[in-house]
Copies of this chain bind each other. A is one copy, B any other.
């Protein structure tokens, strides 16, 4: 942590800061420049967490130097983490393909989709039973009934299944049926939910918040890990920008950035990011080329009749075609697919 003093700071201001630092058992390093004085703080800065030094007399600003997430931090865990989900593993050796409908609408729809995506090459079935929708008048999901269909689909296909959870109650239900919990973008900083997910021993797919920085995302992962659950997989799904040609702006640079900051795996969801079917395939290939550990792709037996997010869903034929196209990209990336 670095404390930058104002040009007009007095000697007594600087002395006062140094006293506070030393009183907390830390060491202060002083650099007196021609324009400004800066104070470097050495030691465990968590002791200063609540000191609000930025409003002490003479202080211009505080610049943090180290990240607040530790368990998710690559600095302290340099080797990449592989997360086991059912019979598959998300990590550096594989290209994991998660697919299925945005919302579970019926047992038939889900089973048909499960079989189709399995046949095409998917490893994990996704499907929403609890849908966070902007308007209260949109379809909100089948809830526990949907979870039961997920379990059936797993039994019939052998696919691992992942489902979004939106409340402590939903987690309580989901742990009985699914292999992986998903925390959606709108709940990325629903810290109570993160803690509940951390208390389960299920792997967690943590989507990036609509306007979350990568640091906030990793701090959200830290909430889960801090409860003892290291099985966190990150999912980039587009961020909110001024551009309206796509629903969100897929931030593929997050993939190499995440690689330098954390040991956790990262998958990419081009379906939600763009909201447009025609853009899914090119960006899926791009995600693999950028180094992603997996993809989440929406499919639907009949997108025109989907109750949620139809315009971005692939048909089974389109999904099968995409899987074929992805094979050489997975091979170039040295991943099993």
Contacts and interface: CB of A to CB of B under 8 A. Distances in A.
Contacts of A222: 135-136
A49 B256 contact: no
Given A4-B65, A277-B55, A279-B256, A308 B50 contact: yes
A315 to B, nearest CB: 10
B242 A246 contact: no
Interface in A141-191: 166-170, 186-187, 189-191
Interface stretch (A28-36, A110-118, A120-128): A28-36
Contacts of A54: 310-311
A337 interface: no
B134 A66 contact: no
Nearest to A275: B54
Interface stretch (A79-87, A90-98, A199-207, A298-306): A298-306
Interface residues of A, number: 106
Given A51-B305, A69-B135, 5 more contacts: A52-B311, A169-B192, A170-B192, A239-B243, A260-B278
A241 interface: yes
A215 interface: yes
A25 to B, nearest CB: 12
A257 B248 CA distance: 13
A282 B311 contact: no
Closest 9 CB pairs of A and B: A52-B310, A211-B211, A31-B40, A29-B31, A286-B290, A289-B289, A286-B286, A186-B189, A167-B192
A40 B42 contact: no
A319 interface: no
Nearest to A284: B289
B279 A289 contact: no
